[in-house]
A = this chain, B = another copy of it.
């Protein structure tokens, strides 16, 4: 029934050509949870410091995200500061303060351990396996990662990949991880390491999903205004996993729909800073955009 996410809850300061925010709610587990909350119950495991504003947690509670697994420890919360230029495709990190996140050890509460759907957001691959050691018998495990771990802990990352079903990462990271420029070859290499599915996030170009027998290309949603791309990838993962946790079926039809729901949540997320857009959606609004994706991508077969 339940969907478990382990990742970061953070305070983000972000500047884009369209505005800026200071110490706004952010973090991979936050974006994931709020996006997934429209489809499924969500259990969150993360850590915040003693300075973390309670109003931010209130937002998660309002979305019915279960916070029993959120540790609050003495010290300062994880902070990230970044900016984007006009192309909005790549963040420039100005400052990362790990603070309490540096010594984060995920502890999965007993009531979360039977989670059937597990998302390991972008954290140390050693910790990702610690989480897997604590859950009993999941139906589906997906994980994210980033260039920092690809470069710094490649062997540990490969150990984690042996134990996950789905890897969800950015296009440039696929190439870096597989050491291969051609995306089809790179995907084959990564699939040979363990995951049965690779989902490649391509920003405004959408997403590409490889399994051993199928390739699916999801379009990016053309938006006239992109305020802040922060959290788009985690919103994608949240919509994707939330939908699957709800339908409890991993058929091709549902995997593809899940990717479109993921793309839908990502497309909403970039329309405002922080969680401002994501927190106030309605299911009819989400389904309307899903159908707009269908209108965007559909053509008649011969």
Chain A residues within 8 Å of B, Cβ to Cβ: 86-87, 181-185, 202, 204-206, 208, 214-220, 222-226, 253, 256-257, 259-260, 287, 290-291, 294-302
Q: A181-B87, A202-B205, A300-B253 are in contact. Are A217 and B220 (CB under 8 A)?
A: yes
Q: Check A182–B299 contact: CB distance below 8 A.
A: no
Q: Which of B219, B257, B291, B295 contacts A219 (CB 8 A)?
A: B219
Chain B residues near A295 (CB-CB < 8 A) = 214
- Asked whether B184 lies within 8 Å of A222 as measured between CB atoms, the reply is yes
Cβ-defined contact, B299 with A291, below 8 A: no
Please give, as numbers and ranges, the residues of chain B lying within 8 Å of A256 by CB-CB distance. 298-300
Q: Whole-angstrom distance from the CB of A250 to the nearest CB of chain B?
A: 15
CB contact under 8 A between A301 and B294, given known A205-B205, A222-B183:
yes
- A296 x B184 contact (CB < 8 A): no
Q: Report how far A294 CA is from B182 CA in the complex, Å.
A: 22
Question: A225 contacts which chain B residues (CB < 8 A)?
Answer: 182
Contact A299 B297 (CB under 8 A): yes
Closest CB in chain B relative to A224 CB, distance in Å: 4
Distance between A293 CB and nearest chain B CB, rounded to angstroms: 8
Which residues on B sit within 8 Å (CB–CB) of A219? 217, 219, 297
Decide yes or no: A215 and B224 within 8 Å by CB, A181-B87, A297-B297 being known contacts: no
Interchain residue pairs with CB less than 8 A apart (5) = A182-B225, A217-B297, A218-B299, A260-B299, A294-B301
Q: Given A183-B204, A202-B205, A297-B299, does the pair A222, B226 have CB atoms closer than 8 Å? A: no
Contact partner of A224 (CB less than 8 A), chosen from B185, B260, B302, is B185
